[in-house]
Structure formats: C-alpha cells, structure tokens
Amino acid sequence: MIKRDLVIIGGGSAGMAAAIEAKKNGIDDILILEKDSVLGGILNQCIHNGFGLTEFKEELTGPEYLSRFADQVKELGIEYKLDSLVLNISKEKVVTYSNATDGVVDIEAKAIVFATGCYERSPGAIQLSGDRVAGIITAGTAQKYLNIHGYLAGKRIVILGSGDIGLIMARRMTLEGAKVLCVSELMPYSNGLNRNIAQCLNDYNIPLYLSRSVLRVEGKGRVEKVVLAAVDDKMKFIPGTEMEFECDTLLLSVGLIPYVSLLENIDVNISSTKGAMVNDQLETSIPGIFACGNCLHVHDVVDFVTEEGREAGRAAARYIKGEVSKKVKIKVSPGNGVGYVIPQFIETDLDHDVTFKFRVRKPIKNVFVNFSSEETIFHKVVKPVLIPSEMVMIKVSKDKLANVKGEITVSLEER
C-alpha cells in the first residue's frame, strides 16, 4: 500500500493552509485530495469581495484570495490531486480515493487533516411545507449556477434565512436583473453579518422580515407562490399573519452543516456543531486525524478558516514528528449563553496559549465572558456586544491555564 506522511482531504482554504503550514514545519510528504477540478473549494464561486481583511489587510474576491494560497501550494511543491474524491477513511488512517486516472487507491497516512468544508441545509432537512417543485434552491447552488455556469436560477425571488450566502445572493441576483422580494428569517435576529445586511439588503431596499418563516410553497412544476407567516416565541405559526408573494423562486439560506460523513462512518465523536469534537491540537477522537475549517464548525470569515487550517497543519506536523505528549484531559463546555466552544478538550501539556472559539446563542450586549474551572474564574474578558453570526475568539495565555485542573466552562455574565 502507498504510504504518505500527511494526507489532507479537501483543497479549499482550510486544506491549503494546513498543507502550507505542515510543509513549513518540516513535513515534505504531503498529498492534498480535492474533489473539484480546481483548488480553492467554495471560494471559486464567491466572486464578491470582502475576503482577506485580516490575512492581507485588503479586500479581495474569493478567487483572488484562494489563488494566493494555491500559488503557495504550487511554489512549495506540495502535491495535490484534483477531481479526486475520498470514498472512505479507516480508523487506521487508510484513505481511499477515486479519480479517473488513478482509479480507486488506498493510501496509508501517518496523519490526516480533514478539511472537507460544509454543505447547505436542504429544504427536506427543514421539512419545508407545500409543493416540492422546481425553483426551491439553496443559495450556494444558485450561486454556483450563476457565477460558475452563467445562469440565473430565479427572477422573482423570496429568500428564506438570513445567512450570509443568502444575503450575498440577494445582491448578486438583483445585479443580474432579478427581483428579490424579501428575506424572511425565522429567528428574531439575523444570522448574517451586519455588513452584509447593510451592503446586500439595505442598499437595494430589500426588506428583511424577522420572526417569519415559510408557511407553504405553492406551484405546479415550478414555484408560483410563497406564503410567509409570523412565528411566536415557540416557533409556532401565528394564524392571520400570512403574507403571500407571487414569485418563481424560493432561495434557502437556512444553515450550513459540517460535511463529515466520512468521520461519522468511523465513529469519530461528533459535537453539537455537527463537526468533530477536537482537542487543543484540533485532533479528533481518533489520534492523528485532525479537523479544521468549516467541517469543524462553520465560520463567517474565511481568514479565520485559513488560520485554523494553519493550526491543524502545525499540529499534524508535530504529531508526525512525535512531538506531542498527552498528559491531561480537561473537558471544555459551553456555559450560560454560549452555543458551543472549540476545542472541546485540552489534552496536551498546558505549555502553550489556547485560543477558544465560540458562538453565543442570541445577541447580547455588555457582557463578561468568563472562563472558569472548579467554580473559579481564571480568565475574564469584557465584550460590548456579541451576536450569533460572529464567531468569538479569545486567546487564554498558558500562565492562566497552568493551574487549571478540572473541566473548563465558558459562559456569559451580564455586566
């Protein structure tokens, strides 16, 4: 069987960053397996700008951003295979992929970085009511049709969900001559970044209806009408609040989910983010398998995906070189007001700073973020405002972590 030091599954922003960083950390035998015919993953279809503010201090389009990393991958001589889909991985870290030239191939890897990105929640997954007809399409799929293939999937559009891709597509399809009638959001707050609400909806006079969802879709063959209704605080529809829209398309932007079937198949522990549970090295419950980027938890800014990819690349390099020793196992849990925290465990010697990443459950102003263990707060940060659509990252120094023994809880406390 072919043996490789590091196999990276997915050549998007997380995978490329992991590969580059592993190479810089002394690992030469690296293979990236990418299912698409180009490197860069979903960024290829994200032709809007706004990428790279943290990484490069400039505003790039998706293709510009990805090409800076793809160029580095090529310059560093990192091997990658395109049009190559991983069919299976085993607990023993055998990666099986398929492509047209190599056929189906098994590779035994010393370490695997899992960087497969995420997929869009489907109309079936939200149990959308009404006729299942053409014209019900997820925002990312519509984006692919438009930006890669050059076709509009709708001309009179209602958007369900205020996730960022939906907002971006509201603007994009408007610019191509479509009419976006409204964006309807089930929650009482938007799930998109504020800058996208301003630049993609407000600038084009597209109304955003909060606490409203689709009661039903009607149409023969294709969407003809979408009926929205208000929901109460238990998410039940309120009779008499119906709003009808004659339209040809219902665009869905109702959530992104880590794409981790291959990890589920080998019983890797999965967290509430639907991604793998990881330790402070971004290592999953199977030693030597690391996860990063949107397949770990869905990010709102690609620059942070890149940074997480680097972390995973460094960690995989240390693992391959045998530099990691696990001496502790401290659980990290979300407390009051916090949806999830990554990492879920701290397992290595606490001789390094740890960046905790989390999202809040609902918008909140003027809070302390408390890091506590055994009922003692060992780190406290003030935040003027936190919203679910923005991932929070807080670095805790090794000095503060040095004395932590028991489970760590990250929670919010109103000031």
Partner 1 sequence: MCMYDVLIIGAGVVGAMVARKLSRYSLSVALLEKENDVGNVTSNANSAIIHSGYDPVPGTLKAKLNVEGNKMFDLISEELDVHFKRIGSMTLATSEEQLKTLKELQTRAIANGVETRLLDKEETRKLEPNVSNEVVGALLAPTAGIIDPFNLVVHAVENAVDNGVKLFLEQEVKDIKYLSDHFEVRTNKEVFIAKVVINCAGLYSDEIAKMIEPIDWKINPRKGEYFVLDHYKLGLVNHTIFPLPSEKGKGVLVSLTNSNNYIVGPSSEFDEDKDDVATDSETLANVRRQAVDMIPSIPFNQVIRVFSGMRATLSTHDFIIEPAKSNKYFINVAGIESPGLASSPAIAEYVVNNYVSKLFNLEEKKNYNPRVKKYHVLNDISKEERNRLIKSNPEYGKIICSCEKVSLGEIKDLLSRSVPPKTVKGVKRRCRAGFGKCQGGFCSPMVTMILAKHYGVSPLDIKWDKDNSNILLEEVKKL
CB of 40 to partner 1, least distance (A): 15
CA dihedral 145, 150, 151, 154 (to 10 degrees): 70
Q: Which two tokens stand for residue 164?
A: 């960022």
Q: 83 vs 390, which CB is nearer to partner 1?
A: 83
Q: 128 vs 296, which CB is nearer to partner 1?
A: 128
CB of 132 to partner 1, least distance (A): 7
Q: Which residues of 363-375 are buried (b: 16+ CB within 10 A; e: fewer)?
A: eeeebebbbbbee
SS3 of 244, please? strand
44 vs 402: CA distance, rounded Å: 43
CA distances from 190 to 184, 195, 213 (A): 9, 11, 13
Q: 134 vs 385, which CB is nearer to partner 1?
A: 134
315 vs 282: CA distance, rounded Å: 7
Q: 258 vs 309, which CB is nearer to partner 1?
A: 258
* DSSP notation for 305-355: HHHHHHHHHHHHHHHHTT---EEEEEEEEE-TTEEEEE-SEEEE-S-S-EE
Phi/psi of residue 51, each to 5°?
-95, 140
CB of 178 to partner 1, least distance (A): 8
CB of 25 to partner 1, least distance (A): 30
CB of 335 to partner 1, least distance (A): 23
Q: 144 vs 383, which CB is nearer to partner 1?
A: 144
Estimate to the nearest angstrom the gap between the alpha carbon of 392 and the chain centroid: 14
Q: 127 vs 205, which CB is nearer to partner 1?
A: 127
CB of 105 to partner 1, least distance (A): 9
Q: 115 vs 346, which CB is nearer to partner 1?
A: 115
Q: Are 110 and 4 contacting, i.e. CB atoms less than 8 angstroms apart? A: yes
Estimate to the nearest angstrom the gap between the alpha carbon of 122 and the chain centroid: 16
Say which residues have a Cβ less than 8 Å from residue 307's Cβ, sequence separation at least 6.
Answer: 17, 54
Picking from 79, 70, 100, the residue whose alpha carbon sits closest to that of residue 4 is: 79
DSSP 197: I
CB of 321 to partner 1, least distance (A): 32
Q: 148 vs 328, which CB is nearer to partner 1?
A: 148
Q: 23 vs 48, which CB is nearer to partner 1?
A: 48
CB of 215 to partner 1, least distance (A): 9
Binding site for partner 1 (CB under 8 A): 35, 83, 85, 87, 96, 98-104, 106, 119-120, 122-125, 127-134, 137-138, 140-141, 144-146, 148-155, 176-177, 216-218, 220-222, 248-249, 257, 259, 261
Q: 137 vs 408, which CB is nearer to partner 1?
A: 137
CB of 245 to partner 1, least distance (A): 16
41 vs 62: CA distance, rounded Å: 10
Say which residues have a Cβ less than 8 Å from residue 340's Cβ, sequence separation at least 6.
Answer: 271, 272, 273, 297, 334, 358, 359
Say which residues have a Cβ less than 8 Å from residue 392's Cβ, sequence separation at least 6.
Answer: 357, 358, 359, 360, 369, 383, 386
